[in-house]
Structure 1
Amino acid sequence: MPNQLTVSTGHCSAKGRKEVNQDFHGMRIPDELQLVTKGIAIVLADGISSSQVSQIASQTAVTGFLEDYYCTSEAWSVKKSAQRVLMATNSWLHAQTRQSQYRYDREKGYICTLSALILKSTTAHLFHIGDARIHHLRGTSIEQLTSDHRLWITRDQSHLSRALGIEAHVEIDYRTLALEQGDVFVLTTDGIHEHLSPASMVNLIASNTHDLDAAAKQILIRAYDQGSDDNLTVQIVRVDSLPAQQDATELLGQLTGLPFAPHLEARMVIDQFTVIRPLHESNRSHVYLAQDNETGGYVALKTPSMDMRHDPAYLERFLMEEWIARRIDNAHVVKAATSSHRRSCLYTINEYVAGQTLAQWMIDNPRPELETVRTIVEQVAQGLRAFHRLEMLHQDLRPANVMIDGNGTVKIIDLGATQVAGIMEMTPPAVDQSVLGTLQYTAPEYFVGDHGSPCSDLFSLAVITYQLLSGRLPYGVEVARARTRVAQSRLTYRSVLDEGRDIPAWIDDVLKKALHPQPHKRYQELSEFIYDLRNPTQRFLDRTRAPLMERNPQQFWQFTSAILAFILALMLIFWPR
């Protein structure tokens, strides 16, 4: 197509002289809309030889990047989108190592190097961690665009100084390059470039200019013949055509941010959607029911309030919300809807859940059965686990952010406060430390400035459980007022049994533990909390077990007589004569 970025590609990968290929590579050329807004992505990862699970890390890093990058907001730049995806991936890999048998030996954990190339409009964007390489070939001149993150101890001994998953935080090299038609980029792992000179790669590509797959295969074979004892992977990308310069200028305008949407009313048309009616309005955002004019389906269209236009931290979270919804694939978390058109203003699109919020359901059902409460809580927990598996925290779980559809399926909505591990908010610390959740349901640790954990989301779920069973909050409004650790130590849990409802006594024990002000004294896993809502704990059974004399008087007196007989025998043996 004229005035459009087009490329030719070739690739080849082999395990070489090793038993397993720990390299992984991938590429995505999206449809026309995302080609303009996101570009073409080429990614290469190399697992470390000291780890038996690094091939899992390299595959996860590549597939995760190719999926998540295209889910990021259209209003984000290439740099912001890719860096946030890579930071989230790094945190996830690091967490897998911490939770595995390799937590004390990071060289054997979920670690890999990664180099990514994104071609968008007339610019190449490079992202690099580790010792894979990206070369740029223009004419007969070749240049290495990346630096090896390798620390040499001796002439023959070295180790990686930077890699994905090796530390909780990762530093990512980034650079851009203006594209010209005919530019060639070559991505290689060290099994290739440590045994084959750049000049040799240039000659092999020039000899196979009409078949880049053949060129990649020849490069791999030549490196192998030169004695490479490592995995071998090479990717070649040639720029065949570029978009017109005016398209690049329009695109640059989009990168600076989309304008705020106007206040929407029924029957208004915005891009491919027709507004039907408002669903929810607040001083922070407006949510509308809208119909997709192309598919006929319904969506929930959310716009930021004009009152928030000068709050960069809020806008960052707003733009992340749709990306988070796209990353999570769970029946109990709201899904992001798709759009086939470029957006003219700032809004997010999610599936429309026809039903009512849990807050309204609680008003309509003030005294629900225990089994109904369990069913609701278990579904919310399944949704929360989907967040936690991706190293994310919801941070604003409350009845108004939970929907129940007409089939009784429970879904978590409103992901605007969600924290993604590894992503540092680009806002002042004073803003970052603000409490994002609704005060009555927020875990105590947030109020003293501590970071949240899955136990924080569990606390919020336990508050909802308590409220469903009793109609009130376990600490009233005291948690939000307790802004010091001393004040939190004085928080007093009120029994859920006080209302005189038909609730088993052991349920109170479960809630008391889940609602403990100190996170390390709560349940550490959602599954434990859910299990104990259906099964009395051994601790409770031991504490409430009736005395042996009441349960079995005959056995009690037999046991007592045996002890007395034993004591009498000792006295007879040792009694002085």
Structure 2
Amino acid sequence: MQAGDRIGDRYELTYPVGRGGMGQVWAGFDERLDRPVAIKFLRQLEVPEDERETAGKRFRREARATGRLDHPGVPAVYDLGVHGEDLFLVMQLVPGIVLADHIAEQEQLPVAEAASIAAQVCSVLVAAHAASLVHRDLKPQNLMITPSGVVKVLDFGVAALLGGAEASRLTATGRTLGTPTYIAPEQAQGGLVGPAADLYALGCILFEMLGGNPPYEAANAPDMMRRHLYSPIPIITEYRSDVPDDLGHLLYCLLAKDPAERPASAAEVRHLLEPFLDGGGVVGARTSKKLAGAARFPAPVSVPPQRPRQGLAELRAQARELAENERFVQAAEVLERALRSVPQGGELLATEVVALRVDLANLLMLAGDFGQARHAFDALARDLEQSEGQQDLADECRHQATVCQLEMGESADATEPNSIR
């Protein structure tokens, strides 16, 4: 690739911004909308041949999920496409300085500044984790500080391409998307990678901002992962005396080897950071809108009995066509409209309604919205268990809810019998 190349028949490459183990980032210009953009490429040839199809699907799914993440601390996603053999993601071009460079210049950041940066990252993680997105590759190179002081978290779409086991294997061979310096112990072992892994990485970043160096140093990736797994947790106050004891304790908890011993959520970490901020607030951070919630099943409305059947057939056909073109979010919206047109029935679920709800749950799953899909499958399973002859389908819905739970980085062992919480 070179300056002047056109991508997707509308984006012109202007200059390279950076290069990673499996990708490349260019500044570009959107000719159609007359604005600067960042274009991130995933080099398919860097992915093992037998994993390319799965990797491509996961990239698209995660990119779509990232595109729905509406938060001032996340660059907006504009487009997704294919250029030759590479996938590309078009995003907001963010001006500013990368945190890694800022640390290199300052060596040790003031306590209030480090706490403010960490709190802003927590604000982003609250929204991301509520939307079933785990970054998996938080590091100073993926955090940008804008001229106004707002922290932007980069690389959600690309960093989430690999699951825990894949990331661990590629890290061991030196072919990871990130660096093992910030990898959580469970991620290094190829275990379930959930929100707690992001909190561990944040702990490593906060330690580096305060101490000038990451918590562990090693000559190679395997040795670094062993240090995360087995080395004692370093005490920040032994490296810097002006760090408050309570902040040192929080940092120690973030670096716990066992995910269960870390703080319960990014929201909790942000709350614990507040006493160390200048003026008690976070510069540039805004309250995140919670994306998780009850399943999106609107209450049915009363309509004439003949019209819904005709409307349902048309809407299902429309949704099917959208899904075949991988427009899963739009297809799900169509099925939601279809469900709103269904009158309330009797005690037993109508076959047509069940089929609609199954299709909707599957579309949410394909769209990468695992939180909503899990609620949808679980709600349908509960209703099916009340209907005679529907146990097999109810069991399948329970299974799919568990798959969604695992995709969100949560252990299936945490579920109650016959219930996905």
TM-score greater than 0.5 by the shorter chain: yes
**What does 1:82-481 align with in structure 2 at a 5 Å threshold?**
264-270=1-7, 271-305=9-43, 307-308=45-46, 310=49, 311-312=51-52, 313-338=54-79, 345=84, 346-415=87-156, 416-418=158-160, 431=166, 434=169, 437-477=178-218, 481=223
Task: Return the alpha-carbon distance in structure 2 between the equivalents of residues 447 and 305 of structure 1.
Answer: 23
Q: Which residue of 1 aligns with 2:260?
A: 520
Task: Return the alpha-carbon distance in structure 1 between the equivalents of residues 167 and 25 of structure 2.
Answer: 25
Letter paired with 1:418: A
Kept after mapping to 1: 8 A contact 2:24/2:42: yes
Q: Which residue of 1 aligns with 2:231?
A: 491
Cα distance 1:326–1:387, how it changes in 2: closer, same or farther (>3 A)? same
Q: Give, in angstroms, the shift of residue 314 of structure 1.
A: 4.1
TM-score by length of 2: 0.56
Letter paired with 1:526: A
Kept after mapping to 1: 8 A contact 2:135/2:198: yes
Task: Return the alpha-carbon distance in structure 1 between the equivalents of residues 95 and 225 of structure 2.
Answer: 39
Q: Give, in angstroms, the shift of residue 450 of structure 1.
A: 1.7
TM-score by length of 1: 0.42
Kept after mapping to 2: 8 A contact 1:289/1:298: yes
Q: Cα deviations across residues 124-163 of structure 1 (Å, max 9, x unaligned)?
A: xxxxxxxxxxxxxxxxxxxxxxxxxxxxxxxxxxxxxxxx
Task: Return the alpha-carbon distance in structure 2 between the equivalents of residues 300 and 265 of structure 1.
Answer: 14
Cα distance 1:376–1:431, how it changes in 2: closer, same or farther (>3 A)? closer
Task: Return the alpha-carbon distance in structure 1 between the equivalents of residues 89 and 111 of structure 2.
Answer: 37
Kept after mapping to 1: 8 A contact 2:123/2:270: no
3-state SS of paired residue (1:411): strand
Task: Return the alpha-carbon distance in structure 1 between the equivalents of residues 130 and 76 of structure 2.
Answer: 17
Task: Return the alpha-carbon distance in structure 1 between the equivalents of residues 183 and 228 of structure 2.
Answer: 13
3-state SS of paired residue (1:440): helix
Determine which structure has more spread, i.e. the larger CA radius of gyration.
1
Kept after mapping to 2: 8 A contact 1:394/1:419: no
Question: Quick one: higher RCO (CA 8 Å, sep 6+), 1 or 2?
Answer: 2
Cα distance 1:482–1:371, how it changes in 2: closer, same or farther (>3 A)? closer
3-state SS of paired residue (2:65): helix
Q: Would you tell me which structure has more helix in proportion to its own residues?
A: 2
Cα distance 1:531–1:282, how it changes in 2: closer, same or farther (>3 A)? closer
Structure 1 stretches of 4+ with a deviation exceeding 6 A read none
Cα distance 1:522–1:480, how it changes in 2: closer, same or farther (>3 A)? farther
Q: Cα deviations across residues 375-426 of structure 1 (Å, max 9, x unaligned)?
A: 1111111111111101221111111111112211111111223279xxxx8x
Q: Give, in angstroms, the shift of residue 502 of structure 1.
A: 2.2
Task: Return the alpha-carbon distance in structure 2 between the equivalents of residues 367 and 401 of structure 1.
Answer: 18
Cα distance 1:509–1:300, how it changes in 2: closer, same or farther (>3 A)? same
3-state SS of paired residue (2:77): coil
Q: Cα deviations across residues 477-501 of structure 1 (Å, max 9, x unaligned)?
A: 49954878xx877421221122345
Ranges in structure 2 where 5+ consecutive residues have no aligned partner: 277-421
Sequence identity, in percent?
A: 24
Task: Return the alpha-carbon distance in structure 1 between the equivalents of residues 165 and 184 of structure 2.
Answer: 19
Q: Give, in angstroms, the shift of residue 343 of structure 1.
A: 6.2
Ranges in structure 1 where 5+ consecutive residues have no aligned partner: 1-263, 537-577
Task: Return the alpha-carbon distance in structure 2 between the equivalents of residues 303 and 512 of structure 1.
Answer: 36
3-state SS of paired residue (1:406): coil
Q: Would you tell me which structure has more strand in proportion to its own residues?
A: 1
Task: Return the alpha-carbon distance in structure 1 between the equivalents of residues 199 and 229 of structure 2.
Answer: 19
| Root-mean-square deviation (Å) | 2.9
Q: Give, in angstroms, the shift of residue 452 of structure 1.
A: 1.6
Kept after mapping to 1: 8 A contact 2:207/2:214: yes
Q: Give, in angstroms, the shift of residue 461 of structure 1.
A: 0.6
3-state SS of paired residue (2:15): strand
